[in-house]
Amino acid sequence: MSQLTQFDVLALRREFPILQQEVNGHRLAFLDSAASSQKPRQVIDCLEDYYRRYNANVHRGVYKLSEEATFAFERARGKVARFIGAASPREVIFTRNTTEALNLVAQSWGGANLKPGDRILLTLMEHHSNIVPWQMIAQRTGATLDYLGLDGEGRLVIEELDRKLDERTKLVAVTHQSNVLGTINPVAEIAARAHAVGAVVVVDGAQSVPHMPVDVKALGCDFLAFSGHKMCGPTGIGVLWGRRSLLEAMPPFLGGGSMIKVVELDHSTYADIPTRFEAGTPAIGEAIALGEAIDYLDAIGMDSIFRHEQELTSYALERLADVEGLQLYGPTSPVERGGSLSFTLEHVHPHDVASILDGVGVAVRAGHHCTQPLHRHFNIPATTRASFYIYNLAEEIDRLAVGLEKARKLFM
């Protein structure tokens, strides 16, 4: 593998306390960042600092601690907005995670705008988070679902858009990067074509926002959802970005404290965006620490992060090609994909592969990765998945390959 010149990965790894440990007598090789990333000390310290020094509820108090918490919480919203190129922090809604963000759009926008005969277009590679909410709202409104298919390498069959997009299509929801195949989808093209028939475009950015520069203006989408915990931030905090004109016309998703203007006995009026969609006490410290994670990623540079992962992916594609009986799913060209590599190993169950790898300190995931329709498409019940992030090394890919050879020999 070529020398990584963008940033010093060995120095960066020292900033992640969890990576310093041994697992089963081996230095931990964490290859499961697509499920959840590890956190640098800077983010952990930020969360701790909030709870130690200025923990207080936001937006309500007139005392110093509450003002400090409110200031930091709203500053984090501003950081998120800048990070994704949003026109205004008001377009950034804090949610628990990607899943909640997608449910918010489905229930609020879908509930207000979909009717019998309308169509929702998804793709076969979607995470269950970008399928089930649409099934639920389709059942409620009488809309129907359709799916864009995949070619043999797990790329979207874009030509199908000609057939599947028409004036009945009211919404297109697509993942920017597949959590299983690694495929990076041409979202800007899909958005332009969807807008031409008047459809709204929702992008699942759970696997793109942590790994590459993402700008909502360049994507041309209407909504973008992502999770803090996959981008060096804490769990319990996610983001829905939405185009201001759409958000302003949408009814609330959850009712309760904070999201109201006036509450009468039989009805209420609602706050402006984004507060209208943030009922109850938010994940304050977690939002502030997500802002810190953004500072951390920004300092490295999203371009450098993307290049580093592309180098790791290229190397992994070469290295895993040497493992006999290994079938890889997803594009074979590293420029069309990110660093989520799912595979099967002949004669070895994916869970056994993952257990054997755990035995040598290599953490990977096995199962359907919340993509049952995708696995059904490939006619397999499960895969093993290795996924990379800023702190991974070529040497860890070597250890993955050696572990896979071990698994193969054990089950031969």
Pick from 127, 193, 385, 408: which binds ligand PLP (CB under 6 A)?
Answer: 127
Nearer of residues 129 and 275 to ligand PLP, judged by Cβ: 129
**Closest approach of ligand PLP to the CB of residue 20, in Å:** 25
| Residue 103 is a binding residue for ligand PLP (CB under 6 A) | no
Nearer of residues 179 and 313 to ligand PLP, judged by Cβ: 179
Range 277-306, binding ligand PLP (CB under 6 A): none
**Closest approach of ligand PLP to the CB of residue 87, in Å:** 24
Distance CA 398, CA 29 (A): 11
Q: How many residues make contact with ligand PLP (CB under 6 A)?
A: 14
266 burial via Cβ count (<10 Å: 0-12, 13-18, 19+): exposed
| Residue 105 is a binding residue for ligand PLP (CB under 6 A) | no
Pick from 15, 118, 204, 396: which binds ligand PLP (CB under 6 A)?
Answer: 204
Nearer of residues 301 and 367 to ligand PLP, judged by Cβ: 367
Distance CA 250, CA 223 (A): 13
Pick from 46, 202, 206, 356: which binds ligand PLP (CB under 6 A)?
Answer: 206
| Residue 203 is a binding residue for ligand PLP (CB under 6 A) | no
Pick from 33, 141, 227, 275: which binds ligand PLP (CB under 6 A)?
Answer: 227
Range 28-57, binding ligand PLP (CB under 6 A): 34-35
Neighbour tally for 11: CB within 10 Å:
8
| Residue 175 is a binding residue for ligand PLP (CB under 6 A) | yes
Distance CA 119, CA 125 (A): 18
| Residue 97 is a binding residue for ligand PLP (CB under 6 A) | yes
Nearer of residues 70 and 313 to ligand PLP, judged by Cβ: 313
Closest CA to 309 of 389, 365, 387, 364: 389
| Residue 183 is a binding residue for ligand PLP (CB under 6 A) | no
Q: Which residues bind ligand PLP (CB under 6 A)?
A: 34-35, 97-99, 127, 129-130, 175, 179, 204, 206-207, 227
